[in-house]
Chain A
Amino acid sequence: MSRKPAQSLTLFLLLAPAVLWLGVLIVLPHVEILVLSFSERVAPRVYAFGFGNYLEFFTEPLYWRTFARTAIMSILVTAITLVLAFPIALYIARVAQGRMKAMLLLLCLLPFWVSELVRTLGWMMLLRETGVISYMLQAIGVTDQRTEFLYNDGAVILGLVYGGLLFMIVPLANALESLDPSVVEAGFDLGGSRWTVLRRIVIPHAMPGIVAGSIIVFMLTVGNFATPVLLGGKNGLWFTEQIYAQFITRFNWPQGAAFGMLLLLLSSAIVWAGLRLTGQSLGTTLKQA
């Protein structure tokens, strides 16, 4: 098919916004931080190529420990979210009917339309020493003084799991929706226990949803900033905080850029590993979500 000049002009004009968007806001900025991450300051205002920023990451324990901590806690948060969300998704997809089903799903969606900061504020008001839970425990006589539930790893995990739940429930419920009830019946008829049917039939069927949900929750958790900083306080120690500190507080952009590349690498590596381990592709996974 030969194209008329007018047609290729139209195509050019239609493509222009997409190319500008991806070029100026995504590709070139990432090239910029990649280049920046390999530049070292050799004298005031003079920079040269070097691996110094990455070496600094590996030699300063605070940096790589925070990085490892962020990765491990994010995996933990993803696992807890999956376990908590599964019974809910199964109930919404397989048990609830008609209006009940629509309402349960809508009730799940509602809190997530509200800003992350409002949700975090709620948890701060519940958990802190002068907060609601501590007040109630003292009022009913369980504790004889105020208790601090905030500023520890438990609070950070709680907040992150809370923030990830919806993104786990929706893909799980979508995947479970297509499970044929007669297959489950057959499993029971053949003498399978509730647990066997769950493990051998339901979970394998839900695998695309499990992968999609886990990947999204992991990415959101690893890149989160407000929840670990506000609920963890000084003990939050999240890697995004280090990026912020280098860029905004200490104005050491090359170091911050190196941290940014490492975070991007971590996030991509885990997503890739998750897809490889379960034999799913990114396209179908994003479609699930």
Chain B
Amino acid sequence: MNRPTLSWKLYIAAFYIFLFAPLLVVAIFAFNASPFPSPPWKGFTLDWFTGSGATFGKPGVLVDPIWLDTIANSFKVAIPVALLAVVIGTVNAWVLERAEFPGKTFLSMMMLWPLVIPGVVLGISILAFFSRVANGLEEWLQTDLDFLRPGLSLVVLGQLSFILTISTLIIAARLRKFDRSLEEAAFDLGASRVRVLRTVTLPFLSPALIGAGLVALLMSFENFNTTLMLVGSDAPLPITMYGQMREGATPAINAVSLLLMLGVGGIASVFALTSKAER
């Protein structure tokens, strides 16, 4: 089995071409000087990134308020999601690895559950439940509670519902490898609990904390299914892209995609580097 046949090798090569063909096409046509994202090639241009819209009637991505707003919306969701995922994930990891209490096995099974629920179902269930809560509270308090209605705050909650599982698993895996005698040594040397946490435990966990934060950031940026059910009038990037793709877009969408690929590639390589440092 160690001497691969020629047909096997050809299959591997064809597979990798298949894997990268769609991404290459998206990247290449971001530079096509044509109002449509399709062949033929009409020459190289950067107009779809920085153009003022004089040539094609539509401005480039980096100056178009529609795209800039949608990118800003994505950050408004992704940053709180990443921060909360790291903080709550750390507490959860602590519960899983350090605490002893009845029902712990049940709780750890429950934490895995969000991964097997379809994203669309997560979205509609959170939408329906929070609408009921909002209706009840608004009647009682006689004020409008917009943050419980479809919008960016509900998107944050919806994404957290399953991203928390991932961040908990990443941080718990690192905490499991921690040598408890290091903490005991610090206690013996007279350090307080807070000080041990700050100078011994958290520095050990930091690669996993950064890793979990980056994964949460990426998953939030890319989530479509759950987000679609919870958006209000401010759409994050995948929702805007979806709308444009249904209507028939200009190469501006290729430019956005290329920027996204570069951003994601950057974050992924930081993640790869931190997880390498972990080993």
Interface contact B229-A244, CB-CB below 8 Å: yes
Interface contact B125-A260, CB-CB below 8 Å: yes
Set of chain A residues within 8 Å of B242, measured between Cβ atoms: 117, 226, 230
Centre residue among A21, A30, A104 by max chain B CB count within 10 A = A21
- Indicate which residue in B25, B112, B114, B125 contacts A125 across the interface (CB closer than 8 Å): B25
- Indicate which residue in A117, A136, A260, A271 contacts B120 across the interface (CB closer than 8 Å): A260
Q: A118 on the interface (CB 8 Å rule)? A: yes
Q: A203 on the interface (CB 8 Å rule)? A: no
B-side interface mostly? helix
Set of chain B residues within 8 Å of A88, measured between Cβ atoms: 12, 15
CB of A281 to closest CB in B, whole Å = 11
Interface contact B118-A264, CB-CB below 8 Å: yes
Q: How far is the CA of A202 from the CA of B18 in the complex (A)?
A: 26
Interface contact A128-B246, CB-CB below 8 Å: no
Interface contact B19-A165, CB-CB below 8 Å: yes
Q: A186 on the interface (CB 8 Å rule)? A: no
Set of chain A residues within 8 Å of B92, measured between Cβ atoms: 17-18, 21
Q: How many contacts between A and B, using CB within 8 angstroms?
A: 224
A residues touching B (Cβ–Cβ < 8 Å)? 11, 14-15, 17-18, 21-22, 25-26, 28-30, 32-33, 36, 84, 87-88, 90-91, 94-95, 104, 106-111, 113-126, 128, 130-132, 135-136, 162, 165, 181, 184, 194, 197, 202, 219, 222-226, 229-230, 240, 243-244, 247-248, 253, 256-257, 260, 263-264, 267-268, 271, 282, 286
Residue pairs across A and B with Cβ atoms less than 8 A apart, 25 shown, are A15-B95, A18-B95, A25-B160, A26-B113, A29-B125, A33-B124, A90-B1, A107-B20, A113-B265, A114-B264, A118-B26, A119-B22, A122-B25, A125-B25, A162-B19, A181-B1, A181-B2, A225-B119, A225-B228, A240-B120, A243-B121, A260-B125, A264-B118, A267-B117, A267-B118
Interface contact B129-A18, CB-CB below 8 Å: no
Interface contact A125-B246, CB-CB below 8 Å: no
Interface contact B37-A117, CB-CB below 8 Å: no
Set of chain A residues within 8 Å of B264, measured between Cβ atoms: 113-115
Interface contact A130-B12, CB-CB below 8 Å: no
